[in-house]
Amino acid sequence: MTTENTHDAIVIGAGSGGLTVAVGLSTFGKSVALIEANLVGGDCTNVGCIPSKLLLHHSTTGALAGDVLSTVRQRRDDLRKHEEDEYGTTDNIDLRYGHARLVGDGAVTSLRADHVIISTGSSPRRLAVDGLPGDRYLTNDELFELTEAPAKMVIVGAGPIGMEMAVAFRRLGTEIVVLDAAPQILPLMLPDAAAVVARTTTAMGIKLMPGLVAHGFDVDTISLAVGPLGGPPTDAINDVDVVLVAVGRVPNSEGLGLEDLGIETDRGRIVIDGKGRTNVDGVWAVGDVSTEGATTHAANAWGRRVIKHIVAPLAPAGARPDHPAVTYTSPEAATIGDQPVEVPGDVRRISYDFSKADRAYTDGVEDGVIIVDIRRFSGKVIGATVVGPRAGELISIFSLGMKAGVRFHKWYGTVWPYPSYADALGAVVDEYMVAAMKSVPSDALRWARGQLRR
């Protein structure tokens, strides 16, 4: 029975993961207390995916920077208002504002439930830059509140957030320098793929300085000293208005009472099993705060798992599908699966120059790459990278194919609309078929060796 403070489930955090779980459980007739410490929509709606993609889109319109930034805030706030209204009035969801803490035995502050789902997200990792005043130090939490584009911005961190914001602010007229300790931008991507983004962003006038970190800021000369990690400064960037720090995320797992309940964490992330359960009965976790989070689609996917296993506790966990990752630069850069730099012996790698596609020709696309790794002989797709127009959509074809276990030779004969960008995948499959058919016996041998090693 549900009383005012007793529910079937308590969801802590009304962001991507928490909303998925709350809405899903409510449609199954479960009563849900949804607790939010700050803003409905979490990072994604307020300081993440939505404002960053709004900015990427509106920065192409040619409007004045101040107007673009104001439109971004307006559109973002409209969405949040819509989400607040919708979830604040959804049947079976009791939306409350406040900072939740687990106190044991199914209770969260004064609430009780059989299930508690922790979906408290993450925060920007803050990096100390000696001498940098607070008003020049930005993370994604402050970035979208700027009312004008700064004249010059140094971005520390060349991951997806850093590179997307480099592109957006460059379009608004900001002079951009991007630093990263790693020797390449987008360090998690294959070097050939990251190189495409490096060339295209450099051509936009973005200065890339891989292999360097920020050493300290001098307020008198408004310059930032930079140098290799662990070494002395070797260079200085002058006339720096602001520094955007985008060097990763830390899970929001402190202050939740996890230690008191003995909930297992790994470097602050809550450890979950294939069903989304923590090691403590009745306590679940989804999204960035868990060991399986980093994106909104991961939070949503794991949220759906949690719903399934609360509603149908005996259902098997099932396989964990590969999650795609997309950086919405220009062009987009997308990956799925596992693609080590060195190709293992039992894997065939097909690299295709995306600019050779007819649609690339008609649209004037001069750079791009598709890289697919396929297990020799068996044809199993291990991983794929697409850098080029609509890479975020094209990678979804791999996501579906890999989840459904469609071997790459079975892709042969698929009819791709001409001249779509997807048609390029047909060319990749053709290349694969020629290579695979020429080497059936040696592939079979390498596949067998690989099987023995695994």
Ligand X SMILES: Cc1cc2nc3c(=O)[nH]c(=O)nc-3n(C[C@H](O)[C@H](O)[C@H](O)COP(=O)(O)OP(=O)(O)OC[C@H]3O[C@@H](n4cnc5c(N)ncnc54)[C@H](O)[C@@H]3O)c2cc1C
Residue ranges binding ligand X (CB under 6 A): 12-18, 35-39, 42-44, 48-49, 52, 99-100, 119-121, 140, 161, 252, 256, 287-289, 293-297, 299
Structure tokens belonging to residue 437: 């058919």
Question: Minimum distance from CB of 26 to ligand X (Å)?
Answer: 17
Report the alpha-carbon distance of residue 172 to residue 153 in Å, rounded.
12
Query: What contacts 24+ positions apart, CB below 8 Å, involve 436-445?
Result: 436/348, 436/374, 436/376, 436/379, 436/409, 439/376, 440/377, 443/348, 443/376, 443/377, 444/376, 444/377
Q: DSSP character for 93? A: E
Closest to ligand X by CB, 109 or 439: 109
Q: Which one-letter amino acid corresponds to residue 64?
A: L
Closest to ligand X by CB, 196 or 301: 301
Question: Minimum distance from CB of 14 to ligand X (Å)?
Answer: 6
Enclosing H/E stretch for 170? helix 160-171
Closest to ligand X by CB, 161 or 397: 161
Burial annotation 190-214 (CB, 10 A radius, 16+ → b, else e):
beebbbbbbebbeeeebebbbebbb
Question: Minimum distance from CB of 17 to ligand X (Å)?
Answer: 3
Chain position whose Cβ is nearest to ligand X: 15
Cα–Cα nearest to 150, from 141, 158, 138: 138
Question: Minimum distance from CB of 310 to ligand X (Å)?
Answer: 17
Closest to ligand X by CB, 19 or 177: 19
Closest to ligand X by CB, 332 or 443: 332
Closest to ligand X by CB, 139 or 347: 139
β-strand partners of 104: 107
Question: Minimum distance from CB of 315 to ligand X (Å)?
Answer: 23
Question: Minimum distance from CB of 83 to ligand X (Å)?
Answer: 11
Reduced to 3 states (helix: H, G, I; strand: E, B; else coil), residue 33 is strand
Closest to ligand X by CB, 304 or 380: 304
Cα–Cα nearest to 333, from 290, 270, 280, 386: 386
Q: Which residues contact 63 (CB under 8 A, 6 or more apart)?
A: 71
Question: Minimum distance from CB of 318 to ligand X (Å)?
Answer: 21
